[in-house]
Structures are given as structure tokens and as C-alpha cells.
Homo-oligomer: A and B are copies of this chain.
Amino acid sequence: MTGVSQATVSLVLNGRDDGNVRIAPETRERVLHAIRTTGYVADPVARRLAARHNRILGVFTYEPVFPTGTGDFYHPFLVGIEECAERLGCDLLLLTSAPVAGGRRRIFHDDNRLRLADGCVLLGRSLDHDELTRLVTEGQPFVSVGRRDDAGGPVPYVGADYPTATAAVVRRALAAGHTALAYLGQGSGPESHADRMRGFRAALDEAGRTPRHLPTTDRSPAELLDALLAAGVTAAVVEEYADGVAIAQLARERGLDIPGDLSILALGDPTRPASTDIDFTGFRIPRREMGWQSVEVLTGLLEADPETVPQRLVPCQPVDGATLAPPKVTP
């Protein structure tokens, strides 16, 4: 149309005008005019092929990204992820094609599409250790949302600082006068549980008090409450929000006063659907912030030295709540 080569069009299109490349203003104008009248747009696909990267960030979750349950675990993370991706001009690829095996999606399989994206954000309460190891050893660019233990090497992550947040909650209970505290929950398994337990132990050790642990697996709320009272516990530090709700409700049904007779401290927001009007003392997990930062970290990883393994802990926000009170003095 303008009697000019494809290369020239490309140069004009990208506004190149540095030392090595020069286009006569008159030619540039002619090309621009042609572009305007035809409405020509460079094919994004070819563009990405030549540029060697996509500006696509993968999002892998072990469960559906859009869950049906109301107490939506992933949603806040995704809000942050989307916000940051939008700001950076990246698109998000939801890796929904991963086939389900044993109730969970798998990253690696015959038709692994992870590499569709420049890098990947991994979301999930616990990640498959073998898959994580493989990601690390293969040097795939990814970031885990949530701290992870080493898996064949350090894992890049953006996690919540559970030890610090849990310790802070425990210290508040100690300051209120509690001496008999118990940790309700697994306290091990996923890193997020182990981290809470570490914070719990650390704060009690520091104060010279005995940390007690009440595993919740296979025990009904009634059994748990009985055990708590039998042990003379005055403040229960609850790993799972939903467990806290169940115990509080049961306690009130039995005529106990929360927090008068028993203080309950929740270590984070609900992960399972749980509706209640109880305003728990504890902390809030900065999920949106974590999502945001994970994208930030991932893009940093892609642009900068891929050798560095970024690991960030984001502080949790304390919640005053109404389930902590000084223990009653036993007569």
C-alpha cells in the first residue's frame, strides 16, 4: 500500500526511533496513515511468538477456582491476583484443563499445559510435595501462595506470617491473665498449621507456661469442649475458625459464658463455610494482599535473576473481637 517493507511497518508500529533505527518522518507519516485507514492491528499471537513471552500468568488451584461453596477460600486471593495482573497488563490463565485424579487436580500429566504461561501462581491449602519438588528442580518459574517447606530446594512463596500472628494472640491472652491455654487443631501437616503451632509454643515457652495441644481429628465439638473443661483450660486457641464456632455455640447452649467462662481465640478467617454472629478475637489473614504480592513476586522472578528464590511473609492483621476476657478467679 505504501510501497514499504514489512520491517519498516513493524518499526513504525512500535515507534522505534533509537540510535540504530531511523525512519524518515515523511515515511513514518505515510505508514501511520495507512494503518489508521485500514484499522490494521498487529496479530498478538505472532507478536508473542517473536517476543518469547506471553504476559500470561498461570493460576493453578488444586480445587475449582470458582467454588460453589459460600465460604469461598480462594476468592480473596484471586481478587488480589487479578488486581495486580491488571495493573501489570498481564492476563491470567486459569489452568482448568488439569485432569482430576483422586479428587484433586494434578499439575503434571500427559498434556501438561503449565508452560502456556510465563509463570504460575500456585494456590492451595497444601500442595503435592512431589509436584512441588519437580517444579523446583526443573526451575519452572512459579510462586506459591502460602509458605512451603523446602522441596528439593527452597520454594518461592508469599505466605502469611502465622507464627508471629499466633504468638501475638497468645501474648494477649497471657496479658489478660490466662495461664492455661490449649491449641485446638492439627498443629501439623500443612505448613500453615505447623506455623501456627510454632507461634503458639514460642509464646508460651517465652512466658514459662506449658503449651497444651488438643487434636481435633475425629472428635466432636462436645468431646472437645469436655476435654477443655476437664483440663481446666481458660483460653482455647483455635486453628480452624469453624471449630471455634461449633465450640462457642455448644458452650453457650450449655449455659457457659463466652468469653466469661472460656476465651476463644481464632487463628484466621473461616476457610470452610461458617456463618456466625460471633466476633472472634484473633487475626485476619491478608489474603488479598498475599494474592497481590504473589503476582508482584512472580513477575519480579521472571524479569530479574531467576536464581534468587523470593520468600515473603506478610503480617496478619490483629482483630480485637469479643471472645477474650480475663479468666475467672477460681474460688
Interface residues of A (CB under 8 A from B): 35-36, 39, 41, 43-49, 54-56, 64-68, 75, 78-79, 81-83, 85-86, 89-97, 99-100, 108, 110-116, 134, 138
Report how far A110 CA is from B31 CA in the complex, Å.
Answer: 12
The interface residues of chain B lying within 8 Å CB-to-CB of A115 are 41, 43-45
Report how far A65 CA is from B75 CA in the complex, Å.
Answer: 10
Choose from B81, B90, B97 the contact partner of A86 (Cβ within 8 Å). Answer: B97
Known: A39-B108, A41-B114, A44-B113. A97 touches B85 (CB 8 A): yes
Show 25 A/B contacts (Cβ-Cβ < 8 Å), sorted by A: A36-B110, A39-B138, A41-B110, A41-B112, A41-B114, A41-B116, A43-B115, A44-B112, A44-B113, A44-B114, A54-B116, A55-B113, A64-B82, A64-B83, A65-B82, A66-B75, A66-B78, A66-B79, A66-B82, A82-B94, A82-B96, A86-B100, A90-B97, A92-B96, A93-B93
Report how far A327 CA is from B144 CA in the complex, Å.
Answer: 60
Number of copies: 2
In contact, A45 and B116 (Cβ under 8 angstroms)? yes
Identify which of A35, A47, A97, A99 gathers the most chain B CB atoms within 10 Å of its CB: A97
In contact, A91 and B113 (Cβ under 8 angstroms)? yes
Identify which of A35, A66, A79, A138 gathers the most chain B CB atoms within 10 Å of its CB: A66
Q: Which residue of chain B has its CB nearest to the CB of A51? A: B45
